[in-house]
């Protein structure tokens, strides 16, 4: 198909990694390509000093410790809001370096503490390992809030792509397990529905970076070839009750197979009484925000900063 992609994004299409997920060999190649992506994307030098440290936190029961990266404003006085950040990558790609520059920038702009989670990846570690790692990290953030300088009353969760789906799942787990209490959820271009049956998912078989074939591989890796009854903590779109969840900000891109499931989830959140904002960006594709210099990408980042500012009551 031909897509009316924003003209400022077009020159970057050949420079972004071609992610084609069909088998284990292609997955290993994609992981290598994502590692090399750091050489293409610009670094970020904070205006204000930011302390960054890597550590590990207790994992789920009978599971390994979970690596996390803690970002904190060096000159903060008193407790500030906290954000658990969950990287994207279709449940099968990504690490702590994937969004490092973006998180430095958020801490610099907002003066918050961010804890980024290096959860285990599928297919080596299918559901529930990734989401349980993220939930364990959230429990650690709450338990260590005073030590981290976080105001526990202003704790949110955020992520993009699979990280957006995992963020939605963590919000469901936190509600259903009685905490930790979340004040906000940022669901960026979220991967939410394993049923692969929305109009955008059926139509977008060859879109840049992410498309239906990749989504099929992603969900099969996460759930297995014959998952049976799929848990809403794996695919939040399957949750029948969305009441009582924290306020949400949801973003979607026009030429993204995940577009419609994000829109539908935002609609259902609003219908369940959850304060919800939805931003849809024309001419964009999944992950196009990596092209930071494009006007639409600058607007997307400004909207993210504003949403976090309001959602975490900064």
- Does residue 17 register a pLDDT over 90? no
Residue with tokens 């949750």: 239
- Does residue 15 register a pLDDT over 90? no
- What's the CA angle centered on 171, arms 291 and 91, to 5 degrees? 50
- Euclidean distance between the first and final Cα of the chain, in Å? 43
Instruction: Compute the average pLDDT of residues 19-25.
Output: 94
- Residues annotated as catalytic (active site), given as ranges: 161, 256, 286
Structure token pair of residue 103: 């998180």
User: Could you read off the pLDDT of 89-111 as tens digits, one per residue?
Assistant: 999 999 999 999 999 999 999 99
Instruction: Compute the average pLDDT of residues 239-250.
Output: 98
The per-residue pLDDT for 239 is 98
Distance CA 163, CA 87 (A): 5
Sorted by sequence, the CB contacts under 8 Å of residue 237 that are 6+ apart come out as 192, 193, 194, 195, 261, 264, 265
pLDDT band for position 272 (cuts 50, 70, 90): very high
Instruction: Compute the average pLDDT of residues 74-103.
Output: 95
């Amino acid at each position: 198909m031909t897509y009316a992609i924003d003209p400022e994004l077009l020159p970057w299409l050949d420079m972004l990694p071609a992610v084609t997920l069909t088998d284990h060999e292609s997955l290993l190649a994609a992981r290598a390509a994502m590692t090399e992506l750091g050489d293409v994307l610009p670094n970020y030098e904070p205006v204000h000093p930011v302390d960054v440290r890597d550590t590990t936190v207790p994992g789920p029961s009978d599971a390994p410790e979970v690596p996390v990266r803690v970002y904190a404003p060096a000159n903060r006085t008193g407790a500030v809001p906290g954000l658990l950040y969950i990287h994207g990558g279709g449940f099968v790609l990504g690490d702590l370096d994937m969004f490092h520059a973006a998180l430095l920038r958020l801490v610099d702009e907002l003066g918050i503490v961010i804890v980024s989670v290096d959860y285990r990846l599928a297919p080596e570690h299918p559901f529930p390992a990734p989401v349980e790692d993220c939930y364990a990290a959230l429990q650690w953030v709450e338990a260590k809030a005073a030590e981290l300088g976080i105001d526990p009353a202003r704790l949110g969760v955020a992520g993009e792509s699979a990280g957006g789906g995992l963020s939605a799942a963590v919000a469901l787990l936190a509600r259903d397990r009685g905490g930790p209490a979340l004040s906000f959820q940022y669901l960026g271009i979220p991967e939410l529905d394993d049923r692969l049956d929305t109009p955008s998912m059926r139509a977008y078989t060859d879109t840049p970076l992410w498309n239906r074939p990749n989504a099929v591989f992603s969900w099969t890796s996460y759930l297995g070839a014959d998952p049976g009854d799929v848990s809403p903590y794996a695919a939040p779109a399957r949750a029948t009750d969305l009441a009582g969840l924290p306020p949400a900000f949801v973003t979607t891109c026009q030429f993204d197979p995940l577009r419609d499931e994000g829109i539908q989830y935002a609609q259902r959140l609003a219908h369940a009484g959850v304060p919800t904002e939805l931003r849809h960006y024309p001419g964009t594709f999944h992950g196009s925000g990596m092209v930071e210099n494009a006007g639409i990408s600058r607007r997307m980042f400004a909207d993210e900063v504003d949403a976090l500012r309001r959602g975490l009551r900064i």
